[in-house]
Structure 1
């Protein structure tokens, strides 16, 4: 049977015409954007002026739900490309809302796809008009250029008509709610009751209505606190809590050795190593790396509870394991208690006769028996990748599958590929390149190549450009891989993709709020994921810019919220002098790259070890300090305590105008219990409150507290309401905001 619902929701190309424009140069008419001709420099709209406001207004052939905006560019970066632009849309040309604030990447990729806002309160809204407003070009003093625009979305007439009706009902309901809010704010309760009775429109959740009556009308503060406790137990503050900024707290677990040898007591200085965490047993494993001179082959275990390192093997190769290596990857199977190791960096020096093994071995370490097992001596011969390094590897515990993406490969061409170890010189035919996307099934011991490296920088549902130094994390709940950043040759990526392991296709992760605040492009960034919280944590490495030479090592921590598709920076320190970090190295970690990071999703704690500080930040070639990072956010209990403080402060303020003795007793017995002594603002305010007792009793009558305290209580109610989910609260805007002035 044909799935008509699926067909109605299918994205289709939406036809439009140019309805209006601000200006254009004679040979660059706005109609040029209707055709995608990236090789024709004249096939674009070019504004006559380089100063805003400039715009193009598109009129759709018929109303449609516009979900994607596809912007075409010239075949190579252009000075008049839009560094920043906005998109507005709506049914009425004179009443358009902002749908997107973003910008084009400075690269040679022809098309960029933007997900644009098309829902309000989970209701899809159609558009008849789309307005594109350029704000900034790539270079100043150049007119704005748009080469090509395509709109995609839902244009099924029945679906669009249904959405238009839903939007109309939504707007009518919101208009009534705005009136209800206005009436109640001004205590016009007769008009409020009449409107609510005749429309059956509810202003807010019944719990908040109860809070309003108890607080604003009755002044029953104890009942208000009971309502707050009820909200806390029902986790109603969780939405507010998640939107609050995280605060980083660094703890130094193992200080830098500063050249002193801790032989067999702790891991030495290194970068390009690997680290895994078994959070069920509280153990961190570290293997291999580069100390600035040689590859390392030791294996360490760190007991989180005892804060102690243990050397499991000084040389795993002698114990039957892989040879010394760096830039490899290691993952842990917590269920089977195994460490899987794949890949390594091999340096081939010019004009040097070297004996090198260019086969890609694959091992696992059985933690229980303390033994290494060789899975494959040559994964390429088994259908897997060639010898690779700086790749990424993730484990799907439930399906027992390992995903490997990217990295660079090195292999010998010709008849010598079967030779395990051979002499390498300038005459040896070597092939270098970027590895594709592979899957290894642990149950079947079988390799599958999902895709090769894409041609150039083009991406599709079946594949994306390969790279090195990127990050990749696996969401255990949604069964998706997230891939961000990295480098391919001289080009540094700033894209962000998701791979659906069930649908077996790629798609780009869109930032609904534009690209104004995203992590800087770079490589050897590190990332972790909390599938329960729906957050990805990205730690800075070596920042690079495609238009600038050199690199910049600095500290920053970013969080990506998977539900809102929004980046936020929770920690940043741009100091880059050695003297500064010599003083601060025991308080927070100095900037680095090629370090390692693991995450405990139960304790919400990160651990970081080692890395390369860069040439200018340390006299040591590599680092061996070990840190714990906790990203602390406000809790629901903290929000409840804040509400108690505000309620009791209001109660105290009212008592000071009625009975100073009762006010003093209340101040000492009740307010002191809920003050946050770590907050300087609350401590100072608490001290100030005592001085109000000496202002004397106000002439306000205690017999009519509601009349005299109405405005203060209403203001307090609005503050407390801001902690609740938006779907429970009155409209944020006010009726008077709609009046032009």
Structure 2
């Protein structure tokens, strides 16, 4: 359920009609409740290229800045759905739709996931994935996705079937809300499959800035240059380590600081020929590491070319 101040109405979509005598229970469509007139009005949705089917366990998000709601996933007749709809509240019609978000690089089919929207950044967050095959076999994982509304692009932030010490365990049917001012998500409760949960978590995302990416790339490149200098010019390598490589360090990255401190050991390595033989392989590793900073559209394919050859 969402509320539109512009339309002065509550908007409800989906759910099962429990009072019905039909079997199986039918699903509810879309209704507007005009709170000033105390009146419910059923809405016939003007369809797009994909039919907006009634459902349960779906995500239903409201963007007050342009009076749109976003509807996706859920379940109809025990069949999980992976479609996605953008619905214009004022025009009462679907303005954009896709039958399967996986085609656009989105998450796998699931239901009872929880979603939030940041209307200021134009981003949708989806947490939790619960899939079910048959009546008993089910799978739950900590799947976390973000959807960039303007770019129509899905990005997976995290996916784990188990949890670490400092993160919540996989769950479904939980509460998940976003403080849009402070950009903090809050997670409460849910069902872990074997038990009902009563825990409470907060989550804040930090976006990597362009300057940080450049700094990381410079660290990898200059580290490789230092390693090669340390074979033939140890004093020059030491000066390069202290001046050029040190300035690319992230003082808050403990793993990088530990790696930096270990580099001095190469100044005392006397097996120069063995080190030179490693350079070609290490340079390839550095190259592959740097490619991770670039989108797939401007770098070589990740697939092995040998796998593309078919036997006749």
Decide: shared fold, TM above 0.5.
yes
Q: Which residue of 2 aligns with 1:691?
A: 266
d(CA) in 2 for partners of 1:662, 1:590: 50
Greater C-alpha Rg: 1
d(CA) in 2 for partners of 1:462, 1:558: 23
Q: Which residue of 2 aligns with 1:675?
A: 249
Q: Which residue of 2 aligns with 1:499?
A: 87
The structure that is helix-richer by fraction is 2
1:684-735 Cα distance to aligned partner (Å, 9 max, x none): 366336635878xxxxxxxxxxxxxxxx9xx99xx69x669x9xxxx768xx
**TM-score of the aligned structures, taking structure 2 as reference length:** 0.68
Q: Which residue of 1 aligns with 2:32?
A: 439
Shift of 1:509: 2.9
Q: How does 1:187-586 map to 2 (within 5 A)?
A: 393-397=1-5, 400-411=8-19, 433-442=26-35, 446-451=39-44, 460=48, 464-506=52-94, 507-509=96-98, 514=103, 518-540=106-128, 542-545=130-133, 548-555=134-141, 556-575=143-162
Q: Which residue of 2 aligns with 1:608?
A: 187
CA contact (8 A) 1:553 1:593 kept: no
Residues 563 and 638 (structure 1), Cα distance of their counterparts in 2 relative to 1, 3 Å cut:
same
d(CA) in 1 for partners of 2:78, 2:204: 35
1:430-478 Cα distance to aligned partner (Å, 9 max, x none): 89532211223456655432227x9xxxx65796221111111123444
CA contact (8 A) 1:511 1:565 kept: no
CA contact (8 A) 1:610 1:623 kept: yes
1:656-707 Cα distance to aligned partner (Å, 9 max, x none): 7997556534422453343246364674366336635878xxxxxxxxxxxx
d(CA) in 2 for partners of 1:410, 1:732: 53
CA contact (8 A) 1:476 1:531 kept: yes
The Cα RMSD (Å) is 4.2
Shift of 1:637: 3.8
Residues 397 and 608 (structure 1), Cα distance of their counterparts in 2 relative to 1, 3 Å cut:
farther
Q: Does 1:642 align with 2:216?
A: yes
Residues 732 and 626 (structure 1), Cα distance of their counterparts in 2 relative to 1, 3 Å cut:
closer
d(CA) in 2 for partners of 1:732, 1:437: 45
Specify the SS of the correspondent of 1:540. strand
Residues 462 and 656 (structure 1), Cα distance of their counterparts in 2 relative to 1, 3 Å cut:
closer
1:500-555 Cα distance to aligned partner (Å, 9 max, x none): 2344322423668727x64343332211122344332222254224xx33241412
**TM-score of the aligned structures, taking structure 1 as reference length:** 0.32
Choose which of 204, 216, 235 in structure 2 pairs with 1:630: 204
CA contact (8 A) 2:126 2:146 kept: yes
Structure 1 unaligned spans of 5+: 1-392, 413-428, 576-580, 696-711, 734-741
Q: Which residue of 1 aligns with 2:274?
A: none
